[in-house]
Amino acid sequence: MSDAKGHVPSPFDSHMRDLVLGILIPGIVLSAIVLMAFAYTASQLRSRPHLHRVSFRLLVYAMVSNFILSVTLIPTEMIITGPKSGTGCAFAAFFSLMRWLVGAQSFWILFMALSELVCFVILASYMIHHRISVKRMWSDVSAKMTASESQHAAYTVAPVLKFRGIILRITLYPLLSCALNFSNIILDLCFAQRLSDTESTFRLSVLDICVVNGRPFLYAVLAATDPSFIRAVSALRQPPIVRPSSKEHNATSQLQSQSWCSTTPSSAMLTQADGNKAEGDGASRGRQLGDAAERPQQTEADVHHGRTHRDPEQGIAPNSSVVHSGKDSIEFQI
């Protein structure tokens, strides 16, 4: 019953333009802020390596395209939204033909949404199948592998499983695009079937406005929470490594050269003292050799004479050459 009734004008109708701008402008501003943050992090040396990824470049291209499209929606929505005129009636009459709607807009949007959904399903099914096969293989060969081999195999995990968190995070973009595109197609088909100005059509039109104009804000939120961008911001928040400037480096080198010059004379003096000590030792050894050469050599007869003329009661004679200690004997030396 309520659907057959026409739409009753209300004060809310005059604020449709405010609703459109209130949803669209925050998305444009947030997209601009995110793009400027991307540019700043890409210009810094500490955060730049975290952004060298193909997925992040594709994200930047998508954000720039979405930002340009959002900016062009402002004058379009301001022209279309408002009191109905001849232009609005011609626009509605154009979309009254189902084949024009399907051939010009709905088919291509549906094809794009289905392509994104198929790609996501293929990727998710491959990850699930690969993980199941890996678990089955581990259950079969775990008993035959040693601890070192199993540890080595744990580190050689497939990239699709190693980075599954990042892959699933990136797939949120096509999922969001599929949800928005499907909802847009359904609403357009409902408008094509219900051209009468009923209350339900008015509510669906408000919902369509919210879906279309809320796309920039949702994409900007997903881009701001991208894993690569978060890692880059974390790298910027870390304290930088302080490196000495050229002036400080020159001052340090001058101090080192001065300290080396001050320690050089003391080293020379130590060398000279060591040389004098070595010369003194050499001279004393020379004198000892000279005294040994001047001593009269003892013959075997003198030794025999000393041994035979020894008084057993008086002990060893004072000028005898008998060895006093067993350590100096020939037997000990041999």
Classify the phi-psi angles of 82: left when phi > 0, otherwise alpha if psi is within -120 to 50, otherwise beta: left
| pLDDT higher than 50, residue 290 | yes
Range with the poorest average pLDDT among 139-148, 200-209, 236-245, 298-307: 298-307
Average pLDDT over residues 124-137: 78
Q: Residues 6 or more apart from 66 whose CB is under 8 A from it?
A: 31, 215, 216, 219
| Pair 230, 47: CB distance under 8 Å | no
Average pLDDT over residues 120-143: 76
Q: Which of the four pLDDT bands, split at 50, 70 and 90, describes residue 28? A: very high
| pLDDT higher than 60, residue 77 | yes
Task: Output the pLDDT for position 118.
Answer: 87
Other Cβ atoms less than 10 A from the Cβ of 27: the count is 22
**pLDDT tens-digit map of 240-283:** 666 655 555 566 666 666 655 554 444 445 445 455 555 556 56
Q: Which of the four pLDDT bands, split at 50, 70 and 90, describes residue 53? A: confident
Query: Could you give the CA distance from residue 227 to residue 173 in angstroms, rounded to a whole number?
Result: 13
Q: Which of the four pLDDT bands, split at 50, 70 and 90, describes residue 195? A: low
| pLDDT higher than 60, residue 34 | yes
Query: Could you give the CA distance from residue 235 to residue 228 in angstroms, rounded to a whole number?
Result: 11
Higher pLDDT pick, 150 / 228: 228
Query: Could you give the CA distance from residue 60 to residue 111 in angstroms, rounded to a whole number?
Result: 23
Average pLDDT over residues 294-316: 46
Q: Which of the four pLDDT bands, split at 50, 70 and 90, describes residue 39? A: very high
Range with the poorest average pLDDT among 80-89, 150-159, 189-198: 80-89
Measure Cα distances from 331 to 57, 317, 321, 326, 334 in Å.
94, 23, 17, 8, 5
In angstroms, how far is the first alpha carbon of the chain from the final one? 133
Which among 188, 222, 28, 211 has a CA at the least distance from the CA of 108?
188
Task: Output the pLDDT for position 31.
Answer: 94
DSSP string, 27-63: HHHHHHHHHHHHHHHHHSTTTGGGG--HHHHHHHHHH
Query: Highest-confidence range of 33-47, 177-191, 196-210, by mean pLDDT?
Result: 33-47
